Amino acid sequence: MSQDLSRYHRQMLIPGFGEEGQRKLLGSKVLVLGCGALGTVIANLLARAGVGHLVVVDRDFIELTNLQRQVLFDEQDVTDAIPKAEAARRKIAKINSQVKVTAVIDDVNHTNIEKLAEGCDAIVDGVDNFETRFLANDCAVKHGLPYIYGGAVGTVGMTYAILPHTERGDSPWEQAGAATPCLRCIFEQAPPPGMNPTCETAGVLSPAVSIISSYEVNETLKVLTGNWSAVCPTMLSIDIWANTVKQFKVKRAYDVGECACCKKRNFEHLAGLLSSATTTLCGRNAVQLSQPKDAAAPKLDFEELAQRLRAHGPVTASKFMLRADIKDNGAEYELTLFTDGRAIVKGTKEPNTAKSIYAKYVGA
């Protein structure tokens, strides 16, 4: 049975799109990693554009502070304590019944990302940490999937469409001469936790999120419709408060570097060699988080972290450890950080909750 395309009439008028492009969208499957600030805009716009199947993955529940920027949610979702991925599925069902949404309430990690990406045509970034981004990058390069990177905090956002070099070199974007460096060509290693601000410590303006996620969707639509020459080859950085737009020419990063991922085909993140681990501490109502061991990575800057965390509660810091009391969504946690990268989150026995607290207030 032929699908009614009338709702997509306006975008089908775009050159290079048309009915053929729309039918490609309806036959596409996209993995949306994260359903927070970026992910809700991404899922919303992809659904309205008619991408046939969205796999939306997120481990968290909706909080009141999310509503300032996470556009698929409302106050009733907060009251009902609905997981973000499931709330997104319900909303999208009311927006476009032609779109299938698979809601996955889980932490994205090296044990499940390849299965999540199975059958997908692209991976779109809605996460808040580089560990998951490098994991997605590994998966994209290994399986020859376009990966649309994006991130926003404060008033600044960055985005970049990755069309990876494949082992055989026979992908449609390579044949069109549009292959790009991967994320590890540009960022050899992830910045250590604490080096980058988070939304909870630096704040975030919703327009910054909306602009970056909309740009991600724009590049995804080009990818899914096969408009390879239209995909932007530069990394875009926007500061909406300072009124600056920068484009970084990164194409040579593949040629001049010896990328461990896309050149050497060494998928360390996908193998779990650089992933963090969690341990529930018996009888302590606490979870220990262990970061990947990397001798070259800088140590946590306790002084800088203490300044940021004092906005959320009392902080005690020394050269050996930092301890902060944090109130988050009505719950109280004690966050202890050590110089070797370990962290203990007291106030929960749930690893996903501990990971969420760590990502929000320290970074990941």
Positions marked active-site: 199
**Encoded tokens for 194:** 């604490």
The answer to whether 84 and 58 are in contact (CB under 8 A) is yes
Please state, in angstroms and rounded to a whole number, the distance separating the CA atoms of residues 313 and 136.
34
> How many CA atoms are closer than 13 Å to the CA of 220, on its beta-carbon side?
34
Report phi then psi at 188, rounded to 5.
-60, -40
DSSP alpha helices (H): ranges in 164-314? Answer: 172-175, 183-186, 199-202, 206-224, 252-256, 302-309
Question: Helix, strand, coil proportions of the chain in percent (round to 5)?
Answer: 35, 25, 40
Residue 99 has φ and ψ, to the nearest 5°, of -105, 130
Amino acid at 339: T
Nearest CA to 321 out of 334, 331, 312, 311 is that of: 334
Tokens for 292?
């990947």
Sheet holding 122-125, edge to edge: 100-105, 53-58, 29-33, 122-125, 147-153, 156-162, 234-239, 244-249
Give backbone dihedrals phi and psi of 147, rounded to 5 degrees, phi first.
-130, 120
| Angle formed by the axes of helices 37-49 and 84-95, nearest 10° | 30
Distance between alpha carbon 69 and the CA centroid of its chain, in Å? 15
The number of residues making up the chain comes to 364
CB 62 within 8 A of CB 77: yes
